[in-house]
Structure 1
């Protein structure tokens, strides 16, 4: 299928979420336009600005499906998943059935065990890459997971990749699984981006947002799974830095934030978990003092 080229996408959303997508667009030589609003207003803004595509930013499957349908009617490229897959993601039962048909074991319906997430990239030529497994707790994400041996990580990634390939996914998605003892089962799937891409950036050395744009442009994934490796440990905090707070930086520390303020994302990484804790403590002490630093690290 021939794909229409795009160079001026409208990026939906605001804050760090939209900022990171716009940065990825700029890295690809595009001229992104920022906008926020309802599905109808976003389409109108895209047409008024002369945009040739729309990127949904970070939003759930139902909203992405609505945007994709409006783009289809107006001949605007939608830079996300196909509507049929987005509808299936929005209706979790449908996606679970699709993954069962692809041969994946399903998680038990009763809550329990540990929920882990893993992002995957897929191109139109059948290549799928799985990235670093991670865990979400409140406003913190961490990767990789100490309880996953290399063998279990490979099994998880290959299992998820098999399901993605069978579905015909092109782009970036997040698959979630539940682990209970030795049992691993598929839970649900979410369209990307999710906001945790910085963990893969610092641990695996590739930008999932740039790669998403690449495959949606019809290009092949440049990396091979055999050349990808998870190196070190990382944590990502979603937080609001103190007013006037200064980040002095240093090894393994990165802060993504917008000029208008609001929620930011602090990413800290190192070779070992102890390195991450030491570096994060330094940031939190600079911002809030020792007692508050202990609270943030204990979460």
Structure 2
């Protein structure tokens, strides 16, 4: 393959991760940064740096014309959007193609199909993948009638977007109309479209997702599953792979469902098919497909030995998959901790500031994906993620032990972080014995994590 030049349209640890994968492939890199990220670690590592605009995301990382112009002007052959920002924007993918740039991700029509969660639900149903009872609503009265029919509790969810915005849990009729109106307003403000839908809420469920990878030659595989049940306000905090709570039969069903959806889409690139699993009853419900690299992809890399970002880049340039399904092997267990600049004593309120001390702990079997360094000024404009701490071991107990040692040994000053929360979580019986469900963290820490 000829030498490629990749424009990295993101920041933080994922920008570093993409630059590292490009370096190992012999690709050149150009990094687009905001005014606040000119002195970032990724800016120091990239082959070339271009300032996109002001410090706020709308002025820089979300400025589609600026990103495309910078990529073309610097002679790039491709754009890697990472996750967040422009990663799932169908219009951005189309504009890249129109300007001769390879978009490192799914095709625009696939992004369009998956960007609408109502359409994604219909696709799942069409190929025989179970979904939670529910459907679209156009008025609050429609929502109330549907909720009565399927039964409470229910979730009101934005049809476009994610990250917990435009999502409300409702336990009875009295709060439904207000929740529907609020969710619709939030969705319109955050995603430019106020369409919402209703689905029955699965109360005692684990959040399990299957990693898929496809190429432009019709080859598609899965790379096992991850469990992401430990969440606060729909934001994941600890992830692990594989999901040890699944029976062998449930695991086969999940993998099969994920590939069924991938085949129906003729899916190209990395993707994640997400499900809710009631492990006691064996029920499985499709949630959505995230058509990009995930924050938690390193736990899958740890147990499979596959460099997912490298494979994503090669597929984008038209290379066939080098792996077949029989080549994918699961080795041991991995746990990822998300260290954030947030105050757990105040509802995980953001806590930006200058890092006066930063010393990751040198624990064996632990990988640190981070853009932190001593003296770094953590900006207030973006996501609070500071580092991903990935512990790998021969089994879950060993992986958890290494994660405990890593987070306990971390020395960080200058920003309030969630380090104390992570340490506490890893010592709780529910996590040790893997009985956590998606609501557990908010219920367990409700009082001490009030904003």
Tell me the TM-score normalised to structure 2 length: 0.61
1:13 and 2:13 matched: no
Give the corresponding residue for 2:398: 275
**5 Å matches for 1:102-141?**
102-108=127-133, 109-112=199-202, 113-136=205-228, 137-138=230-231, 139-141=237-239
Residues 1:197 and 2:289 aligned together: no
How much has 1:65 moved relative to structure 2? Answer: 1.4
- Determine if contact 1:102/1:162 at 8 Å carries over to the other structure: yes
Number of residues of Structure 1 aligned to a counterpart in Structure 2: 296
| Larger of the two Rg values belongs to structure | 2
Shift of 1:30: 0.7
Cα gap change, 1:197 to 1:63, in 2 (>3 Å): closer
Residue 237 (structure 1) shift:
1.3
Give 1:146's match in structure 2, choosing from 244, 253, 275.
244
CA distance in 1, matches of 2:114, 2:207: 17
Q: Which moved more, 1:202-211 or 1:60-69?
A: 60-69
Written as runs of structure 1 = structure 2, the 5 A alignment for 1:150-165 is 150-165=248-263
Give unmatched runs, 5+ long, in structure 2.
Answer: 34-59, 134-198, 232-236, 342-354, 379-385, 413-418, 429-440, 442-451
Change (3 A) 1:21 1:247: same
Q: Secondary structure at the match of 1:133?
A: strand
2:318 aligns with one of 213, 218, 223:
218
The alpha-carbon deviation at position 292 of structure 1 amounts to: 6.7
Deviates further, 182-191 or 254-263: 254-263
- 2-side partners of 1:217 and 1:25: how far apart? 13
Higher fraction of strand: 2
Q: Distance in 2 between matches of 1:152 and 1:81?
A: 28
2:364 aligns with 251
Query: What is the aligned-residue RMSD (CA, Å)?
Result: 2.5
The structure 2 residue matched to 1:231, chosen from 299, 315, 331, is: 331
Where relative contact order (Cα < 8 A, 6+ residues apart) is larger, the structure is: 1
Q: 1:104 to 1:21 in 2, by over 3 A?
A: same
**1:16-31 equivalent positions in 2, closer than 5 A:** 16-31=13-28
Aligned to 1:94: 119
Displacement after TM superposition at 1:249 (Å): 2.2
Shift of 1:62: 7.5
Distance 1:9 1:291 in 2: 38
List runs of 5+ in structure 1 lacking aligned partners: none
Q: What is the deviation of 1:243?
A: 4.6
Which segments of structure 1 move beyond 6 Å, counting only runs of 4 or more? 289-293
